Amino acid sequence: MPDWLIAIVLGLIEGLTEFIPVSSTGHLLLAKTALGLTDPAWDTFIVLIQLGAILAVVALYFQRLWAVVLKLPSDPAARRFALSLLIAFLPAVVLGVALHDTIKLILFESPALICWSLVIGGVVLLALDRWPPTPRLGDAMRYPLLTSLVIGLFQCLSMIPGVSRSGATIVGALLMRGDKRSAAEFSFFLAIPTMAGAFAYDLYKNRDAIDASHAGLIGIGFLVSFLSGLIVIRAMLGFVAKRGFAPFAWWRIVVGVVGLGLIYAAR
């Protein structure tokens, strides 16, 4: 497969899976293994195209987020929302910096772990979708601070590849009595500082591996990630409100089971 086509495939996987609870990292790592991409340059590529997905969220929510920024000096509700995002974001910062190298060197090198995480996460998501706690929170911008903290702690589970950042935060929000739509939307909001922080840290750690000769491929992956991310974010809230999270849960289970079958068959 030519490199430009690989860039498109990986960009699509990043954009299509980053904001739905199926684990973009797990899918990207499995795709990299399936495509036989052993060159470390592809690891750097995957890091850099995440920026496209981040900008997709910013683009779609710019007006609402900018309004919050403008109201910070005068509006207690705006300050509370900003504080809730900060509280939800901080646990991942602390654990991410402390465990970054261990996670990358050990957990990211285990396709079987990724597949098991997909299956287990799918079962949990399916159970919560079928028997959710009675929702009492319907506005993602008004979540209580304790709810935000719990969601942030759940987000730390996504450091295990295959768990899914959006999946972990959505599960946390559902357990704290958020409804399905607001749970998905809070996950979008929390993605901005979390992904931006992870991107900046990974970019710093991989700065020596960045090669200008790969700029064209990175540009392709970035653009595809951005455009596909826009489509997913626009569609997801309405989809979740109508059909819930069961389709994503079943997708996780199918991908995980197929992956495990291929892994154990090859042994």
Q: Per-residue pLDDT for 266 more than 90?
A: no
pTM, entire model: 0.88
* pLDDT of res. 33: 85
Give the Cα separation of 87 and 157 in Å (integer). Answer: 16
DSSP secondary structure, 128-189, as one string: HHHSPPPP-B--GGG--HHHHHHHHHHHGGGGSTTS-HHHHHHHHHHHTTB-HHHHHHHHHH
pLDDT for residue 218? 87
Q: Residue 40: is it exposed, middle or buried by C-beta count within 10 angstroms (0-12/13-18/19+)?
A: exposed
Decide if pLDDT at 246 tops 90: yes
Q: Where is pLDDT greater, at 96 or 147?
A: 147
Q: For 38-80, what is each residue's pLDDT tens digit?
A: 887 788 788 788 889 989 999 999 999 999 999 999 999 999 9
Task: Please state the rounded mean pLDDT for residues 231-246.
Answer: 90
Instruction: Report the percent of the chain where pLDDT is more than 90.
Output: 60
